[in-house]
Amino acid sequence: MARDFQSFLQQLEAVGELRRITAEVDPFLEMGAIADRVAKQPGGGPALLFENPTGHGIPVVMNAYGSLKRMQMALGVEREARGLDAIADRIEHLIQEAMPKPGMGFLDKLAMLPMLADVGGWMPKTVRRGLCQEVVKTGDQVKLSELPVLTTWPEDGGPFITFGMSHVRYKDGRRNMGLYRLQVYDERTLGFHTQMHHDGARARHGYTDGERMHVAVSFGGDPALLYAATAPLPPFLSEVMFTGFLRGEGVEMVKCVTSDLEVPADSEIVIEGWVDPAELRREGPFGDHTGYYSLADDYPVLHVEAITHRKHPIYPATIVGRPPQEDAYLGLATERIFLPLLRMVLPEIRDMHLPAAGAFHNLVVISMRKEFPGHPQKVMNAIWGTGQIMFTKCVVVVDEDIDPHDLTEVLFRITSNVDPRRDLLFTDGPLDVLDHSADRFAFGSKVGIDATRKNKAFDGFRREWPRDLAFPEEILGRITERWKDYGL
Ligand SMILES: Cc1cc2nc3c(=O)[nH]c(=O)nc-3n(C[C@H](O)[C@H](O)[C@H](O)COP(=O)(O)O)c2cc1C
Ligand SMILES: [Mn+2]
């Protein structure tokens, strides 16, 4: 398993998942346009290693996570029959193991100890040295322009760092790591785009105005780190430890050169600095994963004190924009990995799908088993009240035998099963701050569509609901057996 990003890239190359581009390519718009076109190829296209960025000696990698295969490789499940669902299975198993069962005796409890030992093994380990500090630049030596930072869309407010993972500590010492874009203002100043609903913003609120909250931004390292930085974990769960869980081994961390923060030791590059919660600056606009420019707004400022890197680093970047893009595969991993956690509180859910076209927050399709009147509406309300999935503007509910990933099937059920006045539920609530459609910032309406079959007992449906068209098993068996006789 790849522990650092360059060995991950080597693994990708070995299986034909990475292309090297030796031609000189400009990080200003040209790289983004190439990656955008490649990401829209069926299956997401290959990872791209730009060896020769205009004006820079540091190569750029894009689309590293932009296919199902690469996402599986990043999380080490490419050989598992169930792929990303293998991680969901581990979580499900863990939840079951951790539940004390009735009549559990002392010996049963002892049998749980190995699991506790596993948990210990996922904790980050502090090491003395890391590749990421082979080269250290502080003070006046710090020049953000040495990094090949991309400008991805023409009307962007400037160049933006897109794949840097920001590490902070809450006031009580807990770690948080999140993926937030960082606008480059000048050689030593960045925008710190921590949206109000995310832990990155929550952590800052513990600091008083005028106080410095240290921030370290790491690039690369174990490829699972970047996924963890996007995962909708609750504030009490550390993303670095979650990476340890995903990998079955704790992440090696090294202390920063200008603060007590720790960063993954084998990162490609680390930017160290601080944020004063009292200081805000205009950030954006930025061509975003909504498929539109998100509007400029005031965000904290990150003052850079040091840049450290390995001797020959590679700079990872992404482009977000109209879906599908690379981040669709990060979203897919979340859909699969978080299903068992959602099912802990909503056991009636069978499966769910967040189609890439819905840009994470606009559409969720849920298949479920209906057991009482108002059950689909109960699930819709639960979605609107849970973690980051609360942002969902449209929740579609289908019966448990419908595959929510089959969008033609889902559309068929919506259009045929729904009586619009009866089956649409409207409500209001928080929206993703990037949403442009609502009149108010981060607040607007949502719709739930109950596309389940209706019956008398639960829905008060007085007519007879027709059966799905189907051939008898006997006929289906016969034509399968005789298929070659038909010459088809
Ligand atoms: C490509 C990409 C870019 C993102 N950019 C931002 C961003 O600029 N600001 C932000 O608050 N969240 C951004 N996110 C979403 C967060 O990474 C995500 O919500 C994460 O769970 C937040 O973690 P936290 O709650 O620990 O802060 C981005 C996600 C992706 C996949
Ligand atoms: Mn978090």
What mean pLDDT is predicted for residues 62-76? 98
What mean pLDDT is predicted for residues 158-184? 97
Instruction: Give the tens place of pLDDT for each residue, 193-231.
Output: 999 999 999 999 999 999 999 999 999 999 999 999 999
33, 108: one domain: no
Q: Is 286 in the pocket of ligand 1 (CB under 6 A)?
A: no
Q: State the pTM of this model.
A: 0.96
285, 368: one domain: no
68, 89: one domain: no
**Any domain includes 479:** no
The set of catalytic residues is 288
Residue nearest ligand 1's atom 12 by CA: 180
As residues whose CB is below 5 A from the ion ligand 2, the structure lists: 176, 199, 233
147, 187: one domain: yes
Mean pLDDT across the chain: 96
**Any domain includes 328:** no
Q: Is 188 in the pocket of ligand 1 (CB under 6 A)?
A: no
Compute the distance between CA of residue 445 and CA of residue 430 in angstroms, rounded to an integer.
8
Residue 1 pLDDT > 70: no
Phi–psi pair at 187, nearest 5 degrees: -55, -25
**CA 438 to ligand 1 centroid distance, Å:** 21
Say if CB 263 and CB 201 are below 8 A apart: no
Which ligand 1 atom sits closest to the C-alpha of 331? 31
* Mutation to probe ligand 1, out of 161, 198, 213, 435 (largest number of atoms < 8 A from CB): 198
User: Cis peptide leading into 324, omega within 30 of 0?
Assistant: yes
Q: Which ligand is nearest the CA of 316, by number? A: 1
Residue nearest ligand 1's atom 19 by CA: 230
147, 280: one domain: yes
Strand order in the sheet with 315-316: 18-21, 47-50, 60-62, 315-316
**CA 309 to ligand 1 centroid distance, Å:** 23
Token reading at 437: 């459609």
Q: Is 151 in the pocket of ligand 1 (CB under 6 A)?
A: no
In the chain, pLDDT over 70 holds for what percent of residues? 99
CATH number of the domain encompassing residue 412: 3.40.1670.10
Q: Is 288 in the pocket of ligand 1 (CB under 6 A)?
A: no
Which ligand 1 atom sits closest to the C-alpha of 330? 31
**Any domain includes 323:** no
284, 413: one domain: no
**Any domain includes 255:** yes
150, 208: one domain: yes
What is the total count of domains within the chain? 3
Instruction: Give the tens place of pLDDT for each residue, 111-121.
Output: 776 677 788 89
**Any domain includes 469:** no
Q: Of 73, 101, 133, which residue sits at a domain end?
A: 73
**CA 365 to ligand 1 centroid distance, Å:** 22
What local confidence, expressed as pLDDT, does residue 107 receive? Answer: 74
Residue nearest ligand 1's atom 26 by CA: 199
Domain that holds residue 366: 346-459
Q: Which ligand is nearest the CA of 200, by number? A: 1
**Any domain includes 172:** yes
What mean pLDDT is predicted for residues 167-196? 97
Q: Is 232 in the pocket of ligand 1 (CB under 6 A)?
A: yes
